[in-house]
Homo-oligomer: A and B are copies of this chain.
Amino acid sequence: MKIALAQLNYHIGNFEANTEKIISNIQSAKNKGADLVVFAELAICGYPPRDFLEFDEFISLCENAAQDIAKHCIDIACIVGLPIRNDVLQGKDLFNAAYFIENAKVKSITKKALLPTYDVFDEYRYFEPSTSFKCIDFKGKKIALTICEDLWNINDNPLYVSNPMDELIKEQPDVMINIAASPFSYTHDDERIKVLSDNAKKYHLPVFYVNQVGAQTEIIFDGGSLVFDADGEMKAEMKYFEEDLQVFDLTEVENVRNKYPQPERLTDIEQIHDALILGIRDYFRKSGFSKAVLGLSGGIDSAVVCALACTALGAENVMAVLMPSKFSSDHSVQDALDLVNNIGCMHEIIPIRDATEAFDGMLAPAFKGLPFNLTEENIQARIRGTIAMAMSNKFGYILLNTSNKSECAVGYGTLYGDMCGAIGVIGDVYKTQVFQLAKYINKERELIPINTIVKPPSAELRPDQKDSDSLPEYDILDRILYQHIEFKQGSAALIAKGFDEALVKRILKMVNAAEFKRYQTPPILRVSPKAFGMGRRMPIVGKYLT
């Protein structure tokens, strides 16, 4: 039996495009001699459809699309994911399901049992977990089909009290197929390979795994679909961050015990880079926009975002706006211009002095001679936000946010100022990782000026300001943030790890006091296991940690 894995980039709720893409891949798989073509979890509507699922019309549109797809399953069978109604008047109204289609008919339905409800996942919000399990009979083989999380309950502290494969194995299946929508983080590829390999070994069955690829707003799917033999040896690894369709012969996978020549794995920074490019590109493409604008300060964050945007969208589609103030150093403007010249994007220089003076004058009566402070720093940032949004409104450019994860974490940014934007490009990338990204971007030639990389970070909102006036060195800050955010370490645990007590308490207080700011920031492209946004849901008016 020949099994095709179709690793595709879906668009949520775009039934026309998704259906057309699925049908065309059924045809391609057939042309390549496949007996069965497998599409990802919720392929028909895209993952995650979120509260679209609460519209009955949306579920009908999924079913209609499945019927259209079924018509094309002649001389090839297909497995495709979609949400379906629960016709029992008890429990949630929907199942996360997959159709097995043969001879243009839905022959069987598989429902997901383990519903991820943590981090960015909300599946139990919508779906009833399945409690019945049945293999699929096809061409003399028994297929144990599971949906994504259904195979992930095999570690020492399993999240669920049941295990679908423990039921399916009773039918003595010949092969496992898992359809997934498993989001990227730079730690995820290794975990995925281990979990699938462990499943193959535990049940002594080959595993065919197909993932989605592409970004859905902030969530990025990296593809990387996989095939394992019954010994848990990897037999194939499909493309990362790209669509891919490959056909595998089950007999070969079963019988040929030779090692598959695994490609060299990407480093974390390479993965983050490629994920961000895909994230930017899909945000624009799926929103129907092509041009971006961003504020270019001469600092490293906006330089990295500008370079990423130029790669993702083409330099001719990126407008960099330089908005110097009286506190901007000469080198900042020069560094920004050097980048623009290196990279070839559009640019405008719009000094903010006139607006700054206008606000100073307008506010003087109310401010009654109170001294310059954070207020006036924020006004500068908000003038820049207003200019960037004006360029966006006037020309249809989409504003990219350039805040990094370290400053998002501690609230070192101005709400409605530099925290503006439609999408946060590096909001899940710590400052220390931003430096690594910059070096990676410069690997072939100096795109980002060296001076931008080596000079001390500064917001330049008052004379001779440095980030280190307000924050600890990023090296130590990021290590504390990483433990607190990614590993949920409270102050006692951090102090026990040897971090300075006063520093830990100060940083944790900053992080949690900034929750109200993060609530109002753009969606952030997720590249780590714990990004700010929908995957981290903290009280705003809370006392713990502040």
Contacts and interface: CB of A to CB of B under 8 A. Distances in A.
Interface string A526-538: 0000000010111
Given A359-B355, A394-B375, A49 B422 contact: no
Interface string A364-378: 011100100111001
Identify which of A54, A488, A520, A542 gathers the most chain B CB atoms within 10 Å of its CB.
A542
Contacts of A348: 365-366
B488 A56 contact: yes
Contacts of A541: 11-12, 216-217, 282-283, 286-287
Given A363-B390, A391-B366, A91 B544 contact: no
A11 B543 contact: yes
Interface in A2-57: 11-15, 17, 45-46, 48-52, 54-57
B420 A490 contact: no
A538 B50 contact: yes
A476 interface: no
Contacts of A359: 355, 386-387, 390
Given A14-B543, A354-B361, A358-B355, A394 B370 contact: yes
B375 A390 contact: yes
Contacts of A420: 415-416
A350 B374 contact: no
Contacts of A521: 520
B367 A378 contact: no
Interface stretch (A154-162, A299-307, A337-345): A154-162
Contact of A13 (B91, B385, B391, B544): B544
Interface residues of A, number: 101
A544 B389 contact: no
A544 B117 contact: no
A48 B125 contact: no
B382 A13 contact: no
A524 to B, nearest CB: 11
Interface string A257-287: 0000000000000000000000000110011
Given A124-B124, A537-B50, A56 B387 contact: no
A502 interface: no
B363 A387 contact: yes
Contact of A538 (B52, B282, B516): B52
A217 B12 CA distance: 31
A327 interface: no
B383 A386 contact: yes
Nearest to A48: B539
Contacts of A519: 522-523
Contact of A362 (B58, B350, B539, B544): B350
B366 A49 contact: no
Interface in A290-332: none
A379 to B, nearest CB: 6
Nearest to A319: B366
A250 interface: no
A104 interface: no
A524 B135 CA distance: 47
B366 A13 contact: no
28 contacts: A11-B542, A11-B543, A12-B541, A13-B539, A17-B543, A45-B544, A54-B488, A55-B544, A56-B493, A57-B490, A90-B157, A91-B160, A91-B161, A122-B537, A217-B539, A217-B540, A350-B363, A350-B366, A354-B361, A354-B362, A355-B359, A363-B390, A375-B394, A378-B390, A378-B393, A379-B386, A416-B416, A523-B540
